[in-house]
Chains A and B, each alone.
Chain A
Amino acid sequence: MSLTIFKETFVNSLRGSVRANLPRYSEDGVWVSDLGVKSQREMETSVELKAPLELLEPTNGDLKDIENAIRVHKALPHLTPLQARDPRLWTRLTHVEHWSYMRKRWPVEKHMKDEDRATRFVESRYFVTQAQSRALLRNGIARLWWSAKVSHDPKRDNPYELTGVLLSTLDITQQILERGIGRAPAVLVGFLEFLNCNKDPLLTGGDENRIRIRRLAKFLNMYGGVCILDSLKQGQIMGLLEAELSRMLNATAPNPSAPVTS
């Protein structure tokens, strides 16, 4: 089965009408298919789905991001980067094929009190608003594909093992992907592998772990200011992070020789 996408003029028109259409973004049924003439709205592509693209809807706080990222990537593993940055593709998927998922995962209701905020929310989650990667990582479906794409490692027993790490919390996803280091394959994989190997001090949740991950991402970003990180091997990236984590843990460890005050 080949993918259908929106035409560019339709995407532009739809995006320009977000504010006017805000109430429709609270509707449960797909409404975009009622707009305009089909031939002016959509076009077929040469891209074939390799597996059925069905997404799991979030339930009781379980966002299902990891499972869904794997599903999107398995259905479209062959997309080229040029195809996968195309707003026509992702705008179509958020508004038609995965409208029901989008309504559960990215409901607009909680922003509706502030029309400007609601408009920005819809633009960022249902469209791809800019040419920069950040916009791709905000779109509700594109972010799933790209997260799986950059962390997929076919050499592993479970090729999506690091996708699980990347999407384990929204904070990790943002700290890594929204920085330049997220675009450098060896750096990204090294960082995720390091987190995976240090689950206890880093991945068990809580503010302390979150702060550590932020500091590690910041450290690597700063180190990249004087060193071409892309030239280093995964093991070297992990070595740098290991040394930095040790410094952090030592700095926060209680000093046994410190005087005890009553």
Chain B
Amino acid sequence: MKLSQRSYPHPVVGNRDDVPGAAFQATVEMSSDRENVYVDVATKCSSSTINQLIAKGAAKHVLHVECSNTLFRRAYDFAEPAKRISIPAECLNDAVEVNVFVRATRDLSDYAVDGAHLDYGNAKFQVREGDILAVGEGHIFHIESHFDSLRRIGSIMQIEEALEDGDLPLRVDFNGDKIRIILAKADFKDYKLLKAQEGISAALTTTIVLPVLVEALHFWKSGEAGADNDSLRWMRVLRARITALELGAETDNLVLAQKLLELPLKRALVASRQLAEATS
């Protein structure tokens, strides 16, 4: 939402000189990983009227995010002064407009703000649910995706179903061009069902791919594949990835695997939290 200069039907904290006796500030920082864009917002408001309304639930902060490039527009409510919002990275690209407001969460009759401009005198206003009560300075961020979302990416791992019946532990075969991960039949069935579910795939990566990659790094570095340890395709892909990310000096395989997978635990926890919030 592009905020132009405007006059509101009631005094709005942070809008021109509507309320010279109070200020509303919002600092916004944006960061991202492969899965999500994180917006960290911290607000500060010196208006006792607004702070009281928030404290009793009659108003809330709103983080409004809009990206014209992907037709994305969402408003995120929060009562606390600071909040981290995560947005799937696939929803944002290029210029992203971020605005922070305080809005009424219900109709308010006889609304007046402490410290309002003298011109308002003793006027009281009828405020409706959703109306803006305070406005912070707008921000524009530029998100540039570092991967091509349409390009076919050859994976170095392939997940397969075990031939045998029964409950079996996950097994791995490092001797092909791809690393073969073999799951018990029932596990494979669940995996196929769950991998397409938004919010679950990140947790699956942590559960299945992370330990296998740690094992693969150990297998590769310790030379079990023979002297020519670039003989298999997955090794060459891994080497290229380590070089591209400048991770050649990392000796701890667990740390290296997590960096290669772009902190899968963090992504799994964020996705799980989103899932929990969506279902609560």
A: residues with CB less than 8 A from B are: 2-3, 5, 43-47, 80-86, 88-89, 131-133, 136, 146, 150, 180, 182-185, 224-232, 236
User: Which single member of B70, B101, B145 contacts A228 (CB below 8 Å)?
Assistant: B101
Pairwise interchain contact B74-A230, C-beta atoms closer than 8 A:
yes
User: Which single member of B72, B92, B131, B151 contacts A183 (CB below 8 Å)?
Assistant: B72
A207 vs B6: C-alpha distance in the bound complex, in angstroms? 32
A146 vs B69: C-alpha distance in the bound complex, in angstroms? 12
Q: Which residues of B contact A150 (CB under 8 A)?
A: 71
Pairwise interchain contact A82-B152, C-beta atoms closer than 8 A:
no
Pairwise interchain contact A229-B130, C-beta atoms closer than 8 A:
yes
User: Which single member of B75, B90, B94 contacts A131 (CB below 8 Å)?
Assistant: B94
Pairwise interchain contact A80-B149, C-beta atoms closer than 8 A:
yes
Please report which residues of chain B, range 54-78, place their CB below 8 angstroms from some CB of chain A when the two chains form the complex. 62, 64, 66, 68-75, 77
Pairwise interchain contact A228-B152, C-beta atoms closer than 8 A:
no
- Chain B positions 168 through 193: 1 when the CB is less than 8 Å from some CB of chain A, otherwise 0: 00000000000000000000000000
A146 vs B71: C-alpha distance in the bound complex, in angstroms? 9
Q: Which residues of A contact B69 (CB under 8 A)?
A: 85, 131-133
**Which residue of chain B lies nearest to A78 when distances are taken between CB atoms in the complex?**
B196
Q: Which residues of B contact A89 (CB under 8 A)?
A: 150
Q: Which of B72, B95, B132 has the most CB of A within 10 A?
A: B72
Pairwise interchain contact A228-B62, C-beta atoms closer than 8 A:
yes
Q: Is the interface of B mostly helix, strand, loop or mixed?
A: mixed
Decide: A231 near B149, CB < 8 A? Known: A85-B69, A131-B95, A133-B68: no
B139 to chain A, nearest CB (A): 17
* Interface presence of B275 (CB below 8 A): no
* Interface presence of B245 (CB below 8 A): no
A45 vs B132: C-alpha distance in the bound complex, in angstroms? 44
A230 vs B149: C-alpha distance in the bound complex, in angstroms? 28
A229 vs B152: C-alpha distance in the bound complex, in angstroms? 39
User: Which single member of A46, A132, A227 contacts B151 (CB below 8 Å)?
Assistant: A46
A27 to chain B, nearest CB (A): 28
**Which residue of chain A lies nearest to B153 when distances are taken between CB atoms in the complex?**
A46
Pairwise interchain contact B90-A228, C-beta atoms closer than 8 A:
no
Pairs across A and B, CB under 8 Å, 27 listed: A45-B150, A45-B152, A46-B150, A47-B150, A80-B91, A82-B70, A82-B91, A82-B145, A86-B149, A86-B150, A131-B69, A132-B68, A150-B71, A180-B73, A183-B71, A185-B73, A226-B131, A226-B132, A227-B103, A227-B132, A228-B62, A228-B64, A228-B103, A230-B64, A231-B75, A231-B103, A231-B129
Closest 5 CB pairs of A and B: A230-B75, A80-B90, A81-B70, A183-B73, A227-B130
Pairwise interchain contact B71-A136, C-beta atoms closer than 8 A:
yes
Q: Which residues of B contact A47 (CB under 8 A)?
A: 150
* Interface presence of B221 (CB below 8 A): no
Decide: A228 near B75, CB < 8 A? Known: A5-B150, A81-B91: yes
A88 vs B89: C-alpha distance in the bound complex, in angstroms? 19
Pairwise interchain contact A180-B1, C-beta atoms closer than 8 A:
yes
A132 vs B71: C-alpha distance in the bound complex, in angstroms? 8
A227 vs B129: C-alpha distance in the bound complex, in angstroms? 8
**Which residue of chain B lies nearest to A47 when distances are taken between CB atoms in the complex?**
B150
